[in-house]
Chains A and B, each alone.
Chain A
């Protein structure tokens, strides 16, 4: 295996150095979205609809405009006209047009000399609404007679006769599931539901924007992708893209929720009107009401199994509710559902359904966790009823290199079997269970993504390295970038400084999403370092008077490639750098491309849970994550991704949900009532890093951020179901639900 040999022998990769931004982040020095100011800065507040669905009859801001300190008020009329497609959706979402489409939908914004003045003035804006019928539930929204969110929103993929709220459809698979079910010894078909959950990043969206009358602007914001923010703001404000420079702040969590644009164009519109810098920070309640969340789902899954554990057929229908706009990740839900298994007969159908809820945003492997919940629950039930071992059954049916994926292509080199084998060997899997406890297993899958990437690596005159990347560092990626550059160049880790460049400094970089950063910016860093090495070798060759091809790079020095090349002492990077001004000028390496080959990633999780039969409360007592990382660049941050995904999954499975009342208003827009896991809720989370190298990355890296949230919902549901002795089919498994299920059984 030549590839494996190539990836051995790392000096820096695989070690655990301190992150370069560590001191800034433990001393309070790091600057996040809300941590900056500008001279003459105004503070902005957004006014939002209290209704789930209403026609905006009139907005009267005259009293607000006359209030002390108020410098600008904007409504939809202050943004570009005539937009189409997703830009229109984004604008319609961040500032309502004719109708407010959900509780929390923005209708106007105000900028004043202090945040208190802005808040006071916001109360003076009079908005007249005509309340319309609303719908917030995914199944209700598909029923005949349900209020239509937007006529004509459906595309050609939707079968005739469906409700206009069904706007997109996905249908894929192969073979004939009915034939598979006929071959089965046992067929189980069940319905599962999951509620919408929020990404729950602790930092609310925040930005500081300046847009002058000449159309030139500066924007500072917390985002997963500042080139995307630049592009969207330019379109929504009708200014030229390159006139707006966007700088990404440190980002206080995103998990997909900060891939979308919610407030930046509003701050810029206010700035343009007031001709002053405007800072806009979302209150937490607005974050819940008007950003994120992920889709809620209703899913029917049917699986047939033979007595020996072979899955003979599988089918599923996945209905995803994505709020008042198209875009719920139903195709990912469908495509991920059966991905872990090599099946002869499989079909998956997805529906994208609109409701009067906020526009869904990506949340860590969008769609996959819900699908895994439904599919892996049915597999668990089949194993229980047929008396089969849950890992052996999954191994028997596992997708492997060369098998055909449920959604079409043949798998490249993948590591599912390796995670299952590691899970089986892990002491957790064979540990005795306490009385009344249950154990759950689940596999999970995510595609991973590469995307447009540009990186620059500049040498300083002292031989240290300035690496500029365009992907915001959301969880320690600067450390991995420094490590990969140091590895290639043969320089110490501390000699590399990684900066997240602004939009004026590098070419377009796609958002930090799709678990792409360590893969794509990492690949780009390695390639930029190799480009730099070529240039360094050329300088040495020129000095020695030999061909550049006769020079190679080793341990941070140029050396003659062999005895025939000549007899010269190694020339260190510092020596070449110190003379670069006289030997041809600055030495800078580049990489600009859209790499292909983000390797997919699989995981297997093991969970033990105890259920209190009096209160219905669940305690997760032991948790083990086994996941294929391809190659772990900085293992501590890979473990961190595994643990964080598991913890978010625990919240989703047990506590978290958007609760709407009959009036369509969100009832729990705060961290007290939307309860994410706290330290005392969780056990330590054990991790096993499996490394099956990705052939599409020079070091074998696979993205790790998202796959970690794919198995938990199912693994926890299986553990709880096995502990309670009753199959839990609706998330979250809050105490009242568990008590209800226990009662129904007895």
Chain B
């Protein structure tokens, strides 16, 4: 077992992990942060997207041991107390989720986009989210929700 010290959503954690254990499994099984989902285990669907030092990664392709000394952010860390992140609010308002399994990964990925590019075009949003599969919505309402959240966040600053 490997000893891993990492920060998740601002909290310091000490974990003992199998060397083969993925960051996704450590988050879900050891920290009970089940917001990130395993849709494929091969980095193709994006449902397990988390931020590693601010960079979106497929946590199914990152070993838990690689989180040593780094900062992890998950969907559980997006809201500020009872105040939802504007992306979370806009996803509900726009009915941008049907089953909701891809939603955590898409929200985390979209947050990373807006931190880099506060005014993305529709095409930029589509390409940024091309690694996050949604089978229910056809993406239409997701793209609209992200663009609307971006617009609201720009007005707020």
A interface residues, Cβ below 8 angstroms from B = 16, 18-19, 21-23, 25-32, 34-35, 37, 114-116, 199-204, 250-255, 281, 283-284, 474-476, 634, 636-637, 639-641, 643-644, 646-648, 670-672, 676-682, 684-685
Of the candidates A16, A19, A23, A252, the one having the most CB atoms from chain B within 10 angstroms of its own CB is A252
A11 to B70, alpha carbons, bound, how many Å? 52
Whether B99 contacts A474 by the Cβ 8 Å rule is yes
Is B2 interfacial (CB 8 A cutoff)?
Answer: no
Q: Chain B residues near A636 (CB, 8 Å)? A: 94-95, 141
A200 to B104, alpha carbons, bound, how many Å? 18
Q: Chain A residues near B135 (CB, 8 Å)? A: 199-202, 253, 255, 644, 648, 676
Residue of B nearest to A635 (CB): B95
Question: If A26-B84, A27-B35, A672-B42 touch, does A202 touch B141 (CB 8 Å cutoff)?
Answer: no
Q: Chain A residues near B97 (CB, 8 Å)? A: 22, 25-26
- Minimum Cβ distance to chain B for residue A25 (Å): 4
A31 to B103, alpha carbons, bound, how many Å? 13
Is B61 interfacial (CB 8 A cutoff)?
Answer: no
Whether B39 contacts A27 by the Cβ 8 Å rule is no
A497 to B126, alpha carbons, bound, how many Å? 35
Is B8 interfacial (CB 8 A cutoff)?
Answer: no
Question: If A27-B79, A28-B74 touch, does A644 touch B40 (CB 8 Å cutoff)?
Answer: no
Whether A670 contacts B98 by the Cβ 8 Å rule is no
Whether B37 contacts A202 by the Cβ 8 Å rule is yes
- Minimum Cβ distance to chain A for residue B5 (Å): 22
Residue in contact with B91 in the complex, picked from A26, A647, A680, CB distance below 8 Å: A26
Whether B34 contacts A31 by the Cβ 8 Å rule is yes
Q: Chain B residues near A684 (CB, 8 Å)? A: 122, 140, 143-144
Near A by CB (< 8 A), chain B positions 27-67 give: 28-29, 33-42, 44-45, 47
Is B16 interfacial (CB 8 A cutoff)?
Answer: no
**Top 9 A-B pairs, shortest CB-CB distance:** A28-B35, A252-B101, A647-B138, A25-B100, A636-B95, A671-B44, A643-B138, A475-B98, A22-B92
- Minimum Cβ distance to chain A for residue B60 (Å): 10
Residue of B nearest to A34 (CB): B38
If A29-B35, A116-B20 are given as contacts, then 17 extra A-B residue pairs at C-beta distance below 8 Å, sorted by A number, are: A18-B93, A21-B100, A26-B75, A26-B107, A31-B34, A34-B28, A34-B34, A199-B135, A203-B101, A634-B95, A636-B141, A643-B137, A678-B133, A679-B129, A679-B139, A681-B130, A684-B144
Whether B138 contacts A637 by the Cβ 8 Å rule is no
Chain B 100-126 interface 0/1 with A at a Cβ cutoff of 8 Å (1 = within): 111110010000000000000011011
Residue of A nearest to B102 (CB): A202
Whether A28 contacts B136 by the Cβ 8 Å rule is no
The contact sample of 22 A-B pairs, CB cut-off 8 A, is A16-B95, A26-B84, A26-B89, A26-B91, A27-B79, A30-B100, A31-B34, A32-B34, A201-B101, A252-B39, A253-B101, A475-B99, A643-B137, A670-B44, A671-B39, A671-B40, A671-B133, A679-B126, A680-B123, A682-B140, A684-B122, A685-B138
Question: If A23-B84, A27-B78, A27-B84 touch, does A202 touch B92 (CB 8 Å cutoff)?
Answer: no
Q: Chain B residues near A19 (CB, 8 Å)? A: 92, 95
A643 to B45, alpha carbons, bound, how many Å? 20
Chain B 1-25 interface 0/1 with A at a Cβ cutoff of 8 Å (1 = within): 0000000000000000010110001
Of the candidates A115, A200, A678, the one having the most CB atoms from chain B within 10 angstroms of its own CB is A678
A255 to B137, alpha carbons, bound, how many Å? 12
B interface residues, Cβ below 8 angstroms from A = 18, 20-21, 25, 28-29, 33-42, 44-45, 47, 74-76, 78-79, 84, 88-89, 91-95, 97-104, 107, 122-123, 125-127, 129-144
Whether B101 contacts A643 by the Cβ 8 Å rule is no
Whether A644 contacts B84 by the Cβ 8 Å rule is no
Whether A637 contacts B133 by the Cβ 8 Å rule is no
- Minimum Cβ distance to chain A for residue B42 (Å): 6
Whether B127 contacts A204 by the Cβ 8 Å rule is no
Question: If A253-B101, A679-B139, A684-B143 touch, does A283 touch B41 (CB 8 Å cutoff)?
Answer: yes
Residue in contact with B136 in the complex, picked from A32, A640, A670, A678, CB distance below 8 Å: A640
A19 to B100, alpha carbons, bound, how many Å? 12
- Minimum Cβ distance to chain A for residue B117 (Å): 15
- Minimum Cβ distance to chain B for residue A479 (Å): 9
Whether B137 contacts A202 by the Cβ 8 Å rule is no
- Minimum Cβ distance to chain A for residue B98 (Å): 4
Whether A474 contacts B98 by the Cβ 8 Å rule is yes
- Minimum Cβ distance to chain A for residue B33 (Å): 7
Whether B100 contacts A250 by the Cβ 8 Å rule is yes
Whether B88 contacts A475 by the Cβ 8 Å rule is no
Q: Chain B residues near A644 (CB, 8 Å)? A: 98, 135-138
Whether B35 contacts A679 by the Cβ 8 Å rule is no
Q: Chain B residues near A31 (CB, 8 Å)? A: 34
Q: Chain B residues near A640 (CB, 8 Å)? A: 95, 98, 136-137, 141
Residue in contact with B95 in the complex, picked from A30, A252, A637, A681, CB distance below 8 Å: A637
Residue of B nearest to A117 (CB): B18
Of the candidates A30, A199, A672, the one having the most CB atoms from chain B within 10 angstroms of its own CB is A30
Question: If A671-B42, A680-B127 touch, does A647 touch B76 (CB 8 Å cutoff)?
Answer: no
Q: Chain A residues near B130 (CB, 8 Å)? A: 678-681
Whether B41 contacts A253 by the Cβ 8 Å rule is no
A311 to B136, alpha carbons, bound, how many Å? 36
Residue in contact with B40 in the complex, picked from A23, A670, A679, CB distance below 8 Å: A670
- Minimum Cβ distance to chain A for residue B147 (Å): 11
